[in-house]
Amino acid sequence: MARRANEDEPFELFSGFAEIFISLGLILLTSGAVTFAFAAGGVLFVMAALMAVGWFAAHYFTLKRRMSLPSIVLVCTYATGAGGLIGYVLDMIGLTSGALAAILLGLGGMASILLHYRRFRVPFSMLLVGLYGFMTIYAITTETSPVDTLITGSFWSLFDLRQGGSLALGTLIFGILAFIAGLWFDMQDPHRIGRRARSAFWLHLLAAPALVNTVMMTVYNLDGALGTILTIIGFLLVTCLALVIDRRSFLTAGMGYLAAVIYWLFSMDGGGTQLPLLMLVIGAFITGLGTFWTHLRVALMRALPNFPGKSRLPPWDDVTATSE
């Protein structure tokens, strides 16, 4: 058996300094266009100019040159213009605040970026879709505004389903939906050689903190040893999930809770070596897991029974069990 060629999560911001150079030029070009557009016709012209630059320039830098960082700059430019234009229209019809305005802005932003993605297939677009999606879901589930939540509760309770109110509920729903969407993209490209896998990366990057933080914070805030035990069990389940779908982002999102549990255990002896021991244990764990990730995944996938979609996950049966 031979190791598959790509056993890491595909991620690329730029492929060379030329892309950084061109991206800086595009930012300056866009800034100049915005200045002239504002002088010519105000906010509406500015938003139209942003969308035009983001759309038409992508035909060259995205479709023809296949440049990563300029494509990211352009889709962000387009998304800014689209969001501003939707906000301008909502303001014209008298919807300037409230849940309905946020829902319409979120849905409109998602639709506009998905239109851009349909044409140019920029993986980073999924991150922007996810952010607009979170706005929409939070607006739907909201009971108190984010400012009220921060005032009435501590930061550590924001993601606690028992105390965080609508923010925690909205975050959980968003995390589940983003995870499902990312998994769908992953299953379309199990060997991770195309843009679908790169699109899934950005969705998992959003899903991991939203989903893991909400669940882990809820159990971690339980009093006594029960909270600690459930946090450890939760981290082990997150680790298994990360291995199954071959995405390290989920595991990274849970590292803070593992560190908190280990620190609590070390602090029970009353000594002054908690921090060095914490760094030693966490460092050894991350290094070992990263080094033997492939081996652990092979063992876990072979041990698990067949389940729907297992054959569409990244391959594990053609990976060697020894490092090369």
Indicate the number of domains in the chain: 2
Answer with the one of 145, 179, 203 that is the final residue of a domain: 145
List the one residue out of 186, 174, 309 whose CA is nearest residue 247: 186
Task: Tell me, yes or no, whether 3 lies in a domain.
Answer: no
Write down the pLDDT at residue 319. Answer: 52
Task: Tell me, yes or no, whether 12 lies in a domain.
Answer: no
pLDDT tens track, the chain, 324 positions: 334 444 566 667 777 889 999 999 999 989 888 888 888 777 888 998 899 999 999 999 999 998 999 999 999 999 999 999 999 999 888 887 778 888 999 999 999 999 999 999 999 999 999 999 999 988 888 744 444 444 455 555 667 787 756 778 888 899 999 999 999 999 998 888 888 989 999 999 899 888 888 888 888 778 777 877 888 888 888 889 999 999 887 787 777 766 766 666 666 555 555 667 767 877 888 888 888 888 999 999 999 998 888 888 888 875 544 333
Are 77 and 50 in contact by the 8 Å Cβ rule? The answer is yes
Q: Do 212 and 166 share a structural domain?
A: yes
Are 181 and 192 in contact by the 8 Å Cβ rule? The answer is no
Q: Do 62 and 45 share a structural domain?
A: yes
Q: Do 171 and 114 share a structural domain?
A: no
- At 221, phi and psi to the nearest 5? -80, -5
Write down the pLDDT at residue 23. Answer: 94
Task: Tell me, yes or no, whether 91 lies in a domain.
Answer: yes
Task: Report CA-CA distances (Å) from 223 to 20, 167, 227, 230, 234.
Answer: 50, 22, 6, 11, 16
Write down the pLDDT at residue 216. Answer: 82
Q: Do 184 and 315 share a structural domain?
A: yes
Task: Tell me, yes or no, whether 6 lies in a domain.
Answer: no
Task: Tell me, yes or no, whether 10 lies in a domain.
Answer: no
Task: Tell me, yes or no, whether 57 lies in a domain.
Answer: yes
Answer with the one of 124, 145, 166 that is the final residue of a domain: 145
Write down the pLDDT at residue 117. Answer: 96
Q: Do 212 and 313 share a structural domain?
A: yes
Write down the pLDDT at residue 264. Answer: 63
Q: Do 243 and 286 share a structural domain?
A: yes
Task: Report CA-CA distances (Å) from 184 to 92, 188, 245.
Answer: 38, 7, 11
Task: Report CA-CA distances (Å) from 36 to 39, 74, 295.
Answer: 5, 19, 57
Q: Do 120 and 165 share a structural domain?
A: no
Q: Can you give the residue range of the structural domain that contains 221?
A: 154-323
Write down the pLDDT at residue 289. Answer: 86
Assign 3-class secondary structure to the chain. CCCCCCCCCCCCCCCCHHHHHHHHHHHHHHHHHHHHHHHHHCHHHHHHHHHHHHHHHHHHHHHHCCCHHHHHHHHHHHHHHHHHHHHHHHHHCCCCCCHHHHHHHHHHHHHHHHHHHHHHCCCCHHHHHHHHHHHHHHHHHCCCCHHHHHHHCCHHHCCCCCCCCHHHHHHHHHHHHHHHHHHHHHHHCCCCCCHHHHHHHHHHHHHHHHHHHHHHHHHHCCCHHHHHHHHHHHHHHHHHHHHHHCCHHHHHHCHHHHHHHHHHHHHCCCCCCHHHHHHHHHHHHHHHHHHCHHHHHHHHHHHCCCCCCHHHCCCCCCCCCCCC
Task: Tell me, yes or no, whether 243 lies in a domain.
Answer: yes
Task: Tell me, yes or no, whether 131 lies in a domain.
Answer: yes
Are 44 and 85 in contact by the 8 Å Cβ rule? The answer is yes
Q: Do 262 and 188 share a structural domain?
A: yes
